[in-house]
Chains A and B, each alone.
Chain A
């Protein structure tokens, strides 16, 4: 289990905290979604968790052992998929994976099988510099799995991927979870977070503003609403009614009685709407 307690980080040491008093824990075999707009402090937290930034204040423990006490072997348990696809352009996809496989002290997965899993078999022996951004993104994702990690950090793993490929990646992530892997997922994609995460945390201006399962967040912060399409003098109009508001409730009832309704859908609040309600800003 990964536990983070009162984590704060100040890059310049002048009291301008990039993250402040962030606490959460991720049980083994679960997926934790970290959501927030650019500059919210997501990367700072992730970089501290994977050892790229020193731990200044607070505590981070992996199965009870502080990150301060971890040695190089700690990285044998870690897989990191970076948002920007950082691969050796002059090496082929296969060579990239083979090289990184050689860096770990633990048994590693077959590079060709991993490439096959992310639909890169045909490009396995082409130089990575000739890959599209989406292909490189998949290669970086495959690389994060090469050492069969117990703790996986995924930064925007489906960014720039077509829906079919994104679905494949999501399927692999869920399979890793089933295998007992603990996953820390950073994403802007609410749909991805909704699909994958057991727990999501909202980070805004360096502070956690909410943390729970997507369903509980929707129940706690969402508003019951219906989206209605209705006819009006030959035109089709669309309107959303929030049923907990008296005025919306009255208008909706009037519309039902007028028998002009063509379609009607119930709606639940999206994670993005909840984030906006909590912070007054969007996730983009």
Chain B
């Protein structure tokens, strides 16, 4: 234990003097600022509608549906002025009445016809509603339980927990090993009773501690005490640990950062791909789910926003445990048989 503590303290000092703790702190402050100051919802409308009908029935209807006054107009002059300033928007002028509705579209830039047609369909639906001829509600079946749309400012937290701090850990653990290779301090380490086991665990613990130090303030500011911290931190720790072990394994086979760069960045990019699926859930090709960070980010999301329990995320925990085991074995073999023999 004395040996492990000595190694951990040394790694902690080196991480500090390499700027890792500073960078993590800056990143944390930036993320906290986003959580605190980003709006909970961001509504972006690509259309502006002018209602010239008698009694402005469409404008009233849309306002009642929650559409803002920056989208719906009843004054033609104001509408024209605003549209002129925002040429990328689609202008829609409604005239006539409910029986004979007339829509005119004003398009200044290239807008896909698909978008125009979807807008037309929405307007037709509004007219049918106003006539009282609305069709039956389209049935919706939720495959993973009904989940409320997360507030925008909190939606970024799973990304920060699963991808950002892991990215830092993955990068910096390699940097630390390359420094040791360059300084040949590994030769000195090799003629001590230190061994591969302590070497791996010390660096792994360092990045686990950093991931908690980064994640915990974010969670506290974003969610207070309303979430299952044990479960969420377990997921974060296992994800950080897995990536540190993979990073240690890969770095053994390279002499310096320049040689490592392309392979390291490729691994990081692949690991980050599931963030696309997180942002656009309908984009989830089968191969994407094979990337370990995919189940991790969705498990974190489910715990944070869907009150998922231990049982719900157990498959992900088991998967991460297995991947940590494989990662440790690979890192141990590479360090014991290669790094500490040639170091």
| Partner-B contacts on A (CB < 8 A) | 50-52, 72-73, 75-76, 78, 80, 82, 84, 86-91, 95, 98-105, 140, 143
Contacts and interface: CB of A to CB of B under 8 A. Distances in A.
B245 to A, nearest CB: 22
A78 B191 contact: yes
B187 A103 contact: no
A100 B192 contact: yes
Given A88-B14, A91-B14, A104 B184 contact: no
Given A52-B341, A84-B184, A90 B18 contact: yes
Contact of A99 (B6, B18, B190, B191): B6
12 contacts: A51-B190, A52-B191, A72-B193, A75-B193, A86-B187, A86-B188, A87-B185, A99-B10, A102-B2, A102-B6, A102-B10, A103-B6
Contacts of A100: 188, 192
Nearest to A80: B191
Contacts of B188: 80, 82, 86-87, 100, 140, 143
Nearest to B189: A103
B191 A51 contact: yes
A102 B5 contact: yes
Contact of A103 (B7, B13, B179, B184): B7
Interface string B189-219: 1111111000000000000000000000000
A91 B10 contact: yes
Given A72-B193, A88-B185, A91-B14, 8 more contacts: A52-B187, A82-B188, A86-B188, A88-B14, A102-B6, A102-B9, A103-B192, A104-B192
Given A52-B341, A86-B185, A91 B13 contact: yes
Contact of B183 (A72, A80, A88): A88
Nearest to B11: A99
Contacts of B17: 90-91
B338 interface: no
Nearest to A71: B193
Given A52-B341, A80-B188, A88-B183, A104 B10 contact: no
A103 B179 CA distance: 19
Contacts of A140: 188
A86 B181 CA distance: 10
B184 A82 contact: yes
Contacts of A105: 3, 193
A72 B195 contact: yes
Nearest to A129: B183
Contacts of B179: 90
